[in-house]
Each structure stands twice: as structure tokens, then as C-alpha cells.
Amino acid sequence: MCAPKGATLLGAPRITHLALLVYLTFAPLRIIQTAHWILAISTGVISLPRKLRNSLRCALQKRELRTHEFDMKIAIEGCCHGELDAIYSHIASLEERNGYKVDLLLVCGDFQAIRNYHDLQCMAVPDKYKKLGGFLKYYTGQAKAPILTIVIGGNHEASNYFWELYHGGWLAPNIYFLGHAGCVQVNGVRIAGASGIFKAQDFRQGHWERIPYNHSSVRSIYHIREYNVRRLSLLSSPAVFLSHDWPQGIEHHGNLRDLLRRKPYFRDDINKGVLGSPPLMGLLRTLKPQWWFSAHLHCRFEATVLHNSRDPDASSIRDATKSAEKTNPDEINIEDDVDTEPAAAAVPAEGRGIAPRNTDEIILDDEEEDVEAPPTPLPPPTETKFLALDKCLPRRQFLEVIDVDIIPPGQHREDGLVLSFDPEWLAITRAFHQHMTLSRTQSSYPDETSARDAVQREIGWIKEHVLANKDNGIIKVDDIQQFVMTAPAPAPEDKDTRAQPPYYPNPQTAAFCELLQIENKVNLIVPESGSTA
């Protein structure tokens, strides 16, 4: 309900007391309420019971008044699965219903940037899921994304296109891929992320996969590599981190009992300690971002990680997982070929029944094994808010809107939303580029002290060669990378093709490498994935 016509803040002195405190105190927790709505409460258009007013007054006395200006509104999407139209439409309906404007959309993987029928042959899904999705019209220019959109990759992608933009780049106008790993800034808000999912047998390999992909490489190409985890671990703390996988053990930092009530088929993986990605939990503990968003498991789940706190007691974890085994009532069995090297954790323990399986996803048997995360020093104690979201379907919790303050406050209202490169990430990219390996056997890494020293040297290089003469030290992405259609739109005669596309060198990757004066390894002519190079 809105305030009476003509009412203003200046005409309602009561708002400077209780109602304004309500706004400033509680608005950062969820959706910010408008000043007119607050005015309606304080002027009696919307009345509050006396007991509620008293309770609210007591609560305010116990809280410290927040003075941050929350002037960037960010929408987070779980799994996209090519449903861009539905996602943008849902955001528009939220804007109309709540009277706000979303500035930025973040997508946590399974984006499915399919450009034509050949791209479908580079996506690891059963044939019945190989369909051109909603991304195509944004790629061809038939439509433009109404909101700046930043995405990471999951385990169901056109991996050939994401390899073209390994270091990040525009998938379509106003839709930016963060890369296999990356960090950018939007008006000073640092957003980092890691594409793909974890599989122990591929974690320590180099990037050996080449088009045309075979049965193995079409899967392994989206498995996260230690190379990228090590690079990300060198970042200072970002505001936001995106991953497709959940960090391993995150379920113990939220309402585990409720999670198991909704997803009982998670219980066996939780008991075995194989739900989620070990390297990602290592990154969460190291980077300590304010927010961490994930998808992949097709459910909404909140958690708070208190850094330097002890993990939950093992007995309490066992108690939370005692619920009886159940089957998923919404189960859809999706059979697909399995990887040639199954993980040991996939074998049930002797005497134990096979637990129900979450098949509300496309299953490719990407099992996980424990692997030690890279060691990193502990930064000052903080907490990280974790949120996982569902896939885009009716009556699912697939999208959430949060508010983030901008430094300097109000910047985007004057200059518009600015996507820029993160100088520290550019320095890390230069420092680690020599260790990017294009064969199965990954070259050795420097120790952490040497790696951090190298990054500091490269920060000096970035300041001298990249940031010099830049306004406010900002390197706008648009000044370096511009979207280019590298692959053609779909041809009707290719609808039933089984052929994979040729490799398309992407000018955006070339421009990024030229900016940093590094070798463009992505566009090199190298042996195909079936070789032993």
C-alpha cells in the first residue's frame, strides 16, 4: 500500500523516529522497503498493533543502527538451464510487485549458451535434453539482456564456447562469462567465481581437452582444476563468490535436519563426506567472502560459516541424519553413460543398503572423492553467508534478490553500472600464466610464498602498464573486450547433426591476452583430446 497522494517525508516528522529506524535497521536483511511504504506505517495508513510496536521498539534498542547505503540490488539465479526469458520475466514481475529495480543478475552455472546445433554436441547431457534454448536470440541480437548478467559454468554447458572465453568475455551483449575462474568488479563490488564441478581424478590434470571431444573429454573439460583453485586462493577477500558445486561440508552450517527432510537422498553422501567440493570449502575458508552463492543440487539452502569456529560435533551430525530412507516422490530417472573411471566413494559400504538418489537433475555419475585443499593463511575472523538456489521451474525457489552497498556510495546512479577488470586478478593471471598446462600432466606449482611474491611484482606491472592514465584506476571491460559472433546461427539442415563444430578463435580472448602481454594459449593449434600430449 502506498502513502496518501502528496505525502512527503518532510511532511511527516514521525517518520524520523521509529519508522526510519525500522527502515535503516532491517532493510539490509531482505528486500528494502520504499520510503512511501514506511510513511504509510507511521502515518496510520498501515497500522501496527500496540504490542507489535512495543516489541519492535525493544528489538531496535538491541541492534546497532546501520548507516551503509545499500544502492545496488543483485538478483541471484541457481541453475539457468537455458531459461533466460523466464528468469528475466520473473525479475520484471518482482520489480513491479516490490517497487524496486534490479541492477545485476548473477547466474550460478548450467547456463547453456547454445549458439547452434553443433554446440549441442559439446554438451554432456542425454540426447533428449539437446535442444536449442533461450540463449540463442540474445546471441544473434534478436533480443538484448535487460540486466547486466554475469555467469559461471556448471556441468551442462556448451563447453566449446566456454573454452573460447577461458579468461572470461561477453557471451552475448550484456551477458558476461566470468571464465573458468575469474574476478571482476561492478561499481567497486568484487565478484569472483569458479566454473564447473569437482572430480578428484581430473583435479590435478592440465587442460588437455580439445575439440572434437570424445566421451571422456566432453565431461572432464568442465571438471575444476587445481590450477584455477590455486589462482583463486591468491585473491584478497571478494564481496561475492559464485560456484556451481556446493563447498563440501556446507550443509553442517545451516539447517541440516530441514535439508534432509526435503532431500532425504542426500543423507548417504553427507554421511560419507562426499557431498560437495573439498577445494571450494578450502577457498571459502581462505577467501572469506561476504556472500557465497551456489546451485547444482536443485534446492534452496541457507548457511552461515563462522570463520575460526569449530565444525559441528560428529554426534550431532549423525543425529540429524537419522531420518528413515525415502525415495524422491518427484524422481525422474535419467540414464546416461558413466565416466570410464568411477570414484571409489561410489561403492556402497558392506552391509549398507543403497540410499535413495537425487535424480531431480541430469546425472552423469560425476562422483567425488576427498582431496586436500591448498594450504592458505587464516585471515581475520569473519562470517560468510551461503545461499544455494534451485533450477528455474515453476514453484521452485530459483532466484533471490539481495542488496549490496557500493564503494563509493551512489556511484552507479551517476555513471551507470560499470563492469571492470579486477587489478589483483589481472596480476594473478600474469603471475600464474606460465603454469597453465595444455597436457594431461600438470606442471609443478610454486610454493605459496613464492606465488604471492610473484603476484605482488605483477601488481606493480599492472599499475605501470595497465592502470596508468586510467580514470579512477578503472579498466572497463568494454574498452578491451567487445562481443563478436564467432559461431554462426543454427542452420535448419543441421537439426539432426551429430557433428561437433570447428574451433573458433575468439577475439575477446586475444584482446585479454594482449592487454596482459601474455601468450594466448587458448587459441593455440594443439593436438586433439584423443592424443597423449
For 262-273, the pLDDT digits (tens) are 999 999 999 999
- 382: pLDDT confidence band, cut at 50, 70 and 90? confident
C-beta of residue 395 within 8 angstroms of C-beta of residue 193: no
pLDDT, one tens digit per residue, over 80-101 is 999 999 999 999 999 999 999 9
Q: Three-state secondary structure along 462-512?
A: HHHHCCCCCHHHCCEHHHHCCCCCCCCCCCHHHCCCCCCCCCCCCHHHHHH
- For 282, residues 6+ apart whose C-beta sits below 8 A from its C-beta are 229, 233, 372, 373, 374, 376
Contact predicate 213/501, CB 8 Å: no
Quick check: 460 pLDDT over 80?
Answer: yes
SS3 of 120-135: the string is HCCCCCCHHHCCCCCC
DSSP bridge pairs for 401: 75
- State mean pLDDT over 469-481: 91
What is the pLDDT averaged over residues 295-319?
A: 72
The residue among 409, 403, 410 whose CA lies nearest residue 23 is 403
From CA 493, how far away is CA 481, in angstroms rounded? 33
pLDDT in tens, 235-261: 999 999 999 999 999 999 999 999 999
**Percent of the chain whose pLDDT exceeds 70:** 70
Dihedral over alpha carbons 41, 47, 51, 57 (to 10 degrees) = 10
